Structure 1
Amino acid sequence: MKSLTSILVLFLISFSINAQEFKFEKETINYGKINKGADGERIFTFTNIGDQPIIIKRIQSSCGCTVPKKPEKPIMPGEKGEIKVSYDTKRVGGFSKSITIFSNATEAIKVLRIKGIISNGVSLEKEKSMLSNSEI
């Protein structure tokens, strides 16, 4: 009987420990091909699918060119939360960066990614516009 009680207690403890979970709509955001100096802010949206509040303790990016912003308040069960990420689009070329989230969720460390290509070129539409304006 003691062993059955011990197993039951361990099961309840492990269940309550795993009660905080979140589900991201996307774990990778692809900026695609964007122009130098374009808006580099993107948002990762998630939902607390557990039965306890999720507290994001901190977020760390893989380099200084990526600045994440965490929610300040706990995300209650069933609620949505956002993590804003700003990438420095003044750096021309391809990029692939990671954002590591530290929280009280079941998966205490979660890695999200951003990627894309920053182009230095002027688009054909801008060139056509510049040419047509110079003819006037």
Structure 2
Amino acid sequence: MKKLILMCAVVLGFAFTASAQTESKAEFKFNEEKHDFGKIPQGIPVTTVFTYTNVGSEPLILTEVKPTCGCTIADYTKTPVKPGESGKITITYNAAVTAPFNKTIIVTSNAKTPQKYLNIVGEVVAKAAPSTR
């Protein structure tokens, strides 16, 4: 009798696991997850756009797009993105300090993968001094 109950529990466990894996959700696919600005002049903000497509079966809703640094500003599609449609995340980096940079942006949503990490990298270089002739 104990073996029969144990066997039923195992079968039910597999059934629940299989149904959880087939659960339909939203999911995004980005055109790129890392953008390299290369060398950029100091004092001139730079912007890039990360485009994504909802490859899932439910509307994709971004709940927060949070840069990990105050030198980066994010704007994003705030309306639900239907399956097969696209949205965008616009990132602006304030190139105030001369140095290499590697900044992370945390994207939180209702997708299968609830948090995605986007990166921007590059190097801020001093502006060339104007020549006096």
TM-score normalized with structure 1 length? 0.80
Count of residues in Structure 1 that have an aligned counterpart in Structure 2: 125
Alignment partners' CA distance in 2, 1:13 and 1:29:
34
Equivalent position amino acid for 2:72 in 1: T
Query: 1:58: which partner in 2?
Result: 64
Cα deviation code 1:78-132 (max 9, x no counterpart): 0111001111112221110000011000110111100101111318xxx6xx56x
Higher helix fraction (1 or 2) = 1
TM-score normalized with structure 2 length? 0.81
1:28 equivalent in alignment to 2:34: yes
Query: 2:93: which partner in 1?
Result: 87
The one of 92, 111, 122 equivalent to 1:116 is 122
Alignment partners' CA distance in 2, 1:118 and 1:5:
58
Alignment partners' CA distance in 2, 1:111 and 1:9:
30
Query: 1:15: which partner in 2?
Result: 22
Alignment of 1:32-51 (within 5 A): 32-51=38-57
Q: CA RMSD in A?
A: 2.3
Alignment partners' CA distance in 2, 1:36 and 1:97:
16
Q: Please, which runs of 5 or more residues in structure 1 have no aligned partner?
A: none
Alignment partners' CA distance in 2, 1:33 and 1:9:
52
Query: 2:106: which partner in 1?
Result: 100
